[in-house]
């Protein structure tokens, strides 16, 4: 890795536009240029949509290039030969997918590289002289790379856990030291603190996030190995949401229709539509196809369409005029109508940032606790997600009774098959265990054997 690339990655290129403005000897290097050349020739406003699409096509890489006097090679006059240097990519093609962002940032990088050269930094300086990465700058850098691979909900989790770790290091004056000085003892001490304050489960999740970041550090040549992955995973009991009974669901829905109709609409998606909470907060107006009774849904396994049952259309969508709202509006917001839900923060280009889906999901969970769970006297293990358990259990019982009354052979297996088509469990045995956990699978009464 060249020293110039090292400097840019260490403290972010935008910080160098003012710090390295001192004039040096420009004869030692050529003015850094952008590839493709057209980026420097035309202002952003003059690019057509077709040109933008063509210039950001897959595998077409943008970079900054320049030449510098090679202290070893000589030209015919005996002076150091001006030699092309390795192009500087800085992952800009992965970090900025859209044309406008990439256009702005590569110009910032070009300016930063020129200012570093003016300061007298040479790409031929030895590795021993290269600056050390601080723990803070290195971890923030690999988090930016990791964000390209993560869903928005995971990005928020990574950011929160890393911020907490960096605060821990800052209190101990470690955050500005070299990333190579972070060892197993420091990580273990931090994880033990997380364990004491929270739970084994949260400690394990924190370990997992830090390990993923340290794996990235290894791949980017910041450190030699990731010792975090070898730390023990503590045994922890998974948190389970207790299912409501059918009578409890009726009680909750009656209460919500009277006190908070939009909370009812949200819960109706979970119960009638079998959506997960995160899927509900992701719904935008453009995702809804009422004529076909479908909603586009994004999950861990990919993008697909979920069917809208008639009862959900009757209970929710018949009461909302979707035509009034732009396609990019979220269906569920804190405003109790479709809207753009901004976080109050801005991105690097000064644009408003939309509230991430993790915070939106948390908002609806807290709202359910305030409006329904506490007023109706339910304990903490009852959540919005409990409604999905209840719906699946109810679906199973109804299918079981139907197939039994129709004297269909293997009626229980048929009912389990029906549930599996909805839950996508791997086998009927797994479905059966799941139904046992939520209290919706019971064998026939055995009292008669004692008579």
Q: Give CA torsion, residues 426, 427, 432, 437, to 10 deg.
A: -20
Confidence (pLDDT) at 416: 93
CATH of the domain at 378: 1.10.443.10
236 occurs within a structural domain: no
Q: Domain count of the chain?
A: 3
Distance CA 410, CA 399 (A): 12
Task: Find, among 136, 97, 141, the residue nearest to 105 by Cα.
Answer: 97
Confidence (pLDDT) at 449: 64
Residue with tokens 């190579």: 180
Q: Are residues 324 and 192 in the same domain?
A: no
* Segment of 52-66, 83-97, 361-375 carrying the highest mean pLDDT: 361-375
Distance of CA 318 to the CA centre of its chain: 33
pLDDT at 446 over 70: no
Confidence (pLDDT) at 60: 86
pLDDT grade, residue 201 (50/70/90)? confident
pLDDT grade, residue 124 (50/70/90)? confident
Confidence (pLDDT) at 145: 85
Q: Are residues 246 and 176 in the same domain?
A: no
Encoded tokens for 329: 């509006």
Q: Are residues 215 and 285 in the same domain?
A: no
Q: Are residues 116 and 252 in the same domain?
A: no
Encoded tokens for 134: 């601080």
pLDDT grade, residue 445 (50/70/90)? low
Which domain range does residue 147 map to? 135-230
For residue 435, report the phi and psi dihedrals to the nearest 5 degrees.
-65, -35
What residues form DSSP beta bridges with 304? 297
pLDDT grade, residue 79 (50/70/90)? confident
Query: Residue 353 in contact with residue 347, Cβ under 8 Å?
Result: yes
pLDDT at 7 over 70: no
- Lowest mean pLDDT of 77-91, 208-222, 252-266, name the range: 77-91
Confidence (pLDDT) at 147: 85
235 occurs within a structural domain: no
Distance CA 407, CA 425 (A): 26
- Which contacts of 331-340 are long-range, i.e. CB under 8 A and separated by 24 or more positions? 331/283, 331/284, 331/285, 331/287, 331/288, 332/262, 332/265, 332/266, 332/280, 332/281, 332/283, 332/360, 332/364, 333/360, 334/363, 336/262, 338/285
User: Quick one: which H or E segment has residue 68?
Assistant: strand 67-74
Confidence (pLDDT) at 14: 43
pLDDT at 187 over 90: yes
Q: Cα-atom radius of gyration of the chain, to the nearest Å?
A: 29
Q: Are residues 223 and 252 in the same domain?
A: no
- Lowest mean pLDDT of 67-71, 74-78, 182-186, name the range: 74-78
Distance CA 314, CA 316 (A): 6
The total of other beta-carbon atoms located within 10 Å of residue 198's CB is: 12
pLDDT at 37 over 70: yes
Q: Are residues 260 and 367 in the same domain?
A: yes
Q: Are residues 247 and 156 in the same domain?
A: no
Encoded tokens for 127: 């590795």
Q: Per-residue pLDDT averaged across 297-305, rounded?
A: 72
Q: Are residues 332 and 410 in the same domain?
A: yes
Average pLDDT taken over every residue of the chain = 85
pLDDT at 74 over 70: yes
Residue that is last in its domain, among 129, 163, 184: 129
Confidence (pLDDT) at 3: 60
Confidence (pLDDT) at 46: 92
Q: Are residues 344 and 369 in the same domain?
A: yes
Q: Are residues 213 and 276 in the same domain?
A: no
Q: Give CA torsion, residues 401, 406, 410, 413, to 10 deg.
A: -40
pLDDT at 331 over 70: yes
Q: What pLDDT, in 10s, does the model give residues 152-172?
A: 668 888 999 999 999 999 999
Distance CA 289, CA 366 (A): 29
Distance CA 439, CA 242 (A): 9
pLDDT grade, residue 180 (50/70/90)? confident
Distance CA 430, CA 215 (A): 34
pLDDT grade, residue 359 (50/70/90)? confident
35 occurs within a structural domain: yes
Q: Are residues 383 and 430 in the same domain?
A: yes
Q: Per-residue pLDDT averaged across 410-426, rounded?
A: 89
């Amino acid at each position: 890795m060249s020293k110039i690339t090292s400097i840019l990655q260490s403290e972010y290129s935008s910080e160098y536009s003012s710090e390295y403005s001192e004039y040096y000897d420009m004869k030692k290097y050529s003015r850094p240029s952008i590839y493709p050349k057209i980026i420097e020739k035309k202002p952003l406003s003059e690019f057509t949509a077709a040109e933008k699409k063509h210039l950001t096509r897959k595998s077409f890489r943008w970079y900054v290039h320049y030449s510098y006097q090679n202290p070893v090679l000589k030209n015919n006059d005996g002076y150091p030969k001006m030699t092309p240097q390795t192009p500087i990519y800085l992952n800009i093609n992965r970090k900025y997918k859209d044309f406008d962002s990439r256009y702005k940032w590569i110009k910032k990088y070009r300016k930063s590289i020129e200012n570093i050269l003016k300061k007298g930094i040479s790409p031929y300086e030895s590795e021993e002289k290269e600056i050390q990465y601080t723990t803070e700058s290195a971890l923030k850098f690999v988090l930016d790379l990791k964000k390209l691979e993560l869903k928005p909900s995971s990005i928020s989790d990574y950011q929160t856990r890393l911020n907490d770790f960096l605060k821990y290091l800052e209190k101990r004056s470690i955050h500005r030291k070299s990333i190579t000085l972070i060892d197993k003892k420091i990580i273990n001490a931090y994880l033990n603190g997380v364990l004491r304050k929270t739970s084994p489960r949260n400690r394990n999740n924190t370990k997992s996030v830090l390990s993923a970041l340290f794996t990235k550090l290894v791949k980017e040549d910041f450190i030699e190995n990731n010792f975090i992955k070898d730390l023990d995973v503590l045994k922890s009991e998974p948190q389970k949401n207790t299912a409501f009974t059918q009578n409890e669901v009726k009680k909750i829905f009656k209460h919500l229709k009277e006190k908070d109709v939009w909370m009812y609409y949200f819960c109706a998606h979970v119960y009638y539509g079998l959506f997960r909470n995160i899927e509900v907060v992701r719904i935008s107006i453009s995702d809804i196809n009422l004529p076909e009774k479908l909603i586009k849904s994004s999950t861990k396994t990919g993008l697909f369409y979920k069917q809208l049952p008639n009862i959900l259309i009757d209970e929710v969508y018949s009461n909302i005029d979707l035509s009034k709202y732009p396609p990019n509006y979220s269906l569920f917001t804190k405003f109790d109508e479709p809207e753009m839900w901004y976080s109050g923060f801005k991105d690097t280009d000064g644009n408003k940032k939309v509230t991430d889906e993790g915070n939106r999901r948390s908002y609806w969970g807290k709202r359910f606790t305030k409006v329904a769970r506490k007023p109706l006297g339910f304990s903490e293990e009852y959540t919005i997600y409990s409604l999905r358990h209840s719906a699946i259990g109810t679906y199973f019982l109804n299918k079981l009774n139907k197939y039994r009354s129709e004297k269909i052979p293997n009626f229980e297996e048929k009912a389990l098959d029906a549930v599996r088509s909805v839950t996508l469990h791997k086998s009927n045995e797994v479905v059966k265990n799941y139904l046992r956990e939520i209290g919706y699978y019971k064998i026939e009464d055995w009292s008669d054997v004692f008579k």
